[in-house]
Structure 1
Amino acid sequence: MRGTTVLPGTPCTAPRTGEPPVHRLEVRLPDEVPFAIGTFDSIGPMARADFPHRHTFYEIVHVTAGAGAHVVDLDRHPLGPPHLGVILPGQVHHWEDARGLDGSVVLFTPEFLLDHPGDQELLRRLGERPWLALDAPAHARTARLMAELAEEYRHGAAGFASVLRSLLHVLLVRTARLPGPADAPGPAGDRPGRHGRAAAGLAEEFARLAAGTACEAPTVRECAERLGVTPGHLAEAVRAATGRPPAALLREARTREAQRLLVSTGLSIRQVAARVGFGDPAYFCRFFRRETGRSPGDFRKHHDRRAPSIEPGAPPA
């Protein structure tokens, strides 16, 4: 995706040999909001990637035209627009024999949901049925919301990030209301087996634990003990479900809690550091910069600036 994700072959490499590439959302400056919206054309060729890959960000696609199929994890969804698709961080997906693909693509990181943490639960539920066929009224409502998101993002007026989050929240709530596809099992081999479902369930429990204990800064071993499994089994399950090691997700949860405190409280950086388990503020600042690319002070100062990474003519990141 032009200016938004790393193309295959550079830093966007598989975490282990033989695993799918992991793409990340990129912005051109360190003080820009991790959100982007555009058409399949403006996002670029990676929006139609035909090889299995994962994201570290969320992707929502509103498909208005096209033929072929979209594959999420082991489920193949034939195209018969209009559709609404939700791809969660860690899910493996690709487009198969896609022709004439058109519509809107929304990209955002978990960090973008800081003001609406409940939206992560909505997204998790939508990830269980990631491909929805829209009837005419639902298609029209979705198209209007996508147009509003695109207009707000394009103009970038004062307070635009809060408006984007509110519009995104409406989109998620309305999407969660839609009836899902029939739960009838597909042909053998088309869906994850018992082991895959067990790994996904354990990874989900770990994600909830990591989010709820970010201030405690638990280790992977401590999390494994709380979940009643060995550290090795936990690491295998989390990597199978997300493509990432559990230690990385613990760092991410800790970073996200620090970000929430920085943007929603008047706590000093020293106090924020203590709240997320750092006795040394200087070490916290180094940790935060390593994880986010900016200092805690810069993050607090520049939160909610626009990311013009996919606007026409924007240079690649």
Structure 2
Amino acid sequence: MDNIPNFVLYGEQGEEIFPDYLHIESIRARSLRHGWKFRPHRHHNLHQFFFIAKGGGRALIEELNHPLLNGLVIVMPPMAVHGFEFLPDTEGWVLTIPTPFLQRILEEEPQVLEYLSNIRIFQGDEETAGQFRGLFAAIETEHAASKAARGLFVRSMVTLLACSIFRACPPEEETRQEAANQKQVILRNFQTLVDEQFKARWPVARYADRLGITPTHLSRICRQVLHVPASELVTERSLLEARRLLIYTSLTIAEIAYDLGFSDPAHFSKFFREKTGKKPSEFRQTFTKRA
């Protein structure tokens, strides 16, 4: 099936094992091999950090376009759909880190790991941009060397980078407090389970059973924290994937319906129209015209 590509690195598919703690290279080095353009894709179990030092272009992240400005930092968590069109000779870096490695080095700072598990895009001032440029450059230099304690140095620099990003664009105090709240833990586990099982079209009761709570309690938590019922989160996840497949792939409406667990394409079309106000074909055509 013509699904959104899932790469180890861009253009490199398969269950390849990282030979090192991480991978870092200049935007120029990778872009020259791809004509400065990267079609929408995603990475399983990899975190990526981008820094634009000089140049520009645009990024398509999920369904939104973002200009690439000097000093821009982008945090790309696993499975986020993204693509780039860089201006020729753009300078900067892309740092790719396997999720287990990032989890290990941030195990004593779970709030930082939680923060980096969401898409973050921000532009620092001149001083902050200089700090990030120095960090990325230092990681690249050490990664290419064979010096004593190389692994410890790289691990320390990645820790410093993660904390610097967290401090440069920190979450609200309320969010940090809620991170330790039991309701937040249940909600995160529910969202993870939805990501894994939404194509199976489970009812809310089955999710609640897997979480060890009642459907009423699960829906109450969702309403208290997110102000929507639990069923709405399941619906939104299905709609997100439907939009991705309609925009980024050439799959037929029927193929998308079956891929999302619908037994009948007509049922999928009715579901999509009721939730978005448009038929799947109309949504695809609208986005194509806009692009």
TM superposition score normalised by structure 1: 0.50
Q: Does 1:161 align with 2:151?
A: yes
Q: Which residue of 2 aligns with 1:66?
A: 55
Where does the alignment leave 5 or more consecutive residues of structure 1 unmatched?
Answer: 1-16, 182-200, 211-218, 242-317
Quick one: structure 1 residues 63 and 92, their matched pair in 2 at CA, closer, same or farther if it must change by over 3 Å?
same
Q: Which residue of 2 aligns with 1:81?
A: 70
Deviations 1:211-243 (A, max 9, x none): xxxxxxxx989635558479xx869949957xx
State the alpha-carbon separation in 2 of the partners of residues 116 and 79 from structure 1.
Answer: 28
| Aligned partner (choices 26, 33, 40) of residue 27 of structure 2 | 40
AA partner of residue 54 (structure 2): A
Equivalent pair of 2:72/2:123 in contact (CA under 8 Å): yes
Quick one: structure 1 residues 208 and 137, their matched pair in 2 at CA, closer, same or farther if it must change by over 3 Å?
farther
Q: Would you say how many aligned residue pairs link Structure 1 and Structure 2? A: 197
Cα RMSD, aligned residues only: 4.1
Equivalent pair of 1:48/1:98 in contact (CA under 8 Å): yes
- The structure with the largest helix share of the pair is 2
Quick one: structure 1 residues 162 and 79, their matched pair in 2 at CA, closer, same or farther if it must change by over 3 Å?
same
Equivalent pair of 2:54/2:71 in contact (CA under 8 Å): yes
1:172-251 map, 5 Å? 172-179=162-169, 205-207=190-192, 223=210, 226=213, 228=215, 237=237
Equivalent pair of 1:202/1:234 in contact (CA under 8 Å): no
Quick one: structure 1 residues 159 and 239, their matched pair in 2 at CA, closer, same or farther if it must change by over 3 Å?
farther
Deviations 1:158-212 (A, max 9, x none): 332222121111111111122479xxxxxxxxxxxxxxxxxxx9666444999xx
Equivalent pair of 2:76/2:119 in contact (CA under 8 Å): no
State the alpha-carbon separation in 1 of the partners of residues 72 and 40 from structure 2.
Answer: 20
Deviation at 1:54, TM superposition (A): 0.7
Percent of residue pairs bearing the same amino acid type? 18
State the alpha-carbon separation in 1 of the partners of residues 93 and 214 from structure 2.
Answer: 39
TM superposition score normalised by structure 2: 0.54
Deviation at 1:120, TM superposition (A): 6.3
State the alpha-carbon separation in 2 of the partners of residues 238 and 46 from structure 1.
Answer: 32
Q: Does 1:106 align with 2:95?
A: yes
Q: Which residue of 1 aligns with 2:41?
A: 53
State the alpha-carbon separation in 1 of the partners of residues 35 and 164 from structure 2.
Answer: 24
State the alpha-carbon separation in 1 of the partners of residues 159 and 4 from structure 2.
Answer: 30
Deviation at 1:42, TM superposition (A): 2.7
Q: Does 1:146 align with 2:136?
A: yes
User: Which structure is larger by alpha-carbon Rg, 1 or 2?
Assistant: 2
State the alpha-carbon separation in 2 of the partners of residues 48 and 224 from structure 1.
Answer: 45
Equivalent pair of 2:5/2:41 in contact (CA under 8 Å): yes
Equivalent pair of 2:38/2:83 in contact (CA under 8 Å): yes
AA partner of residue 78 (structure 1): P
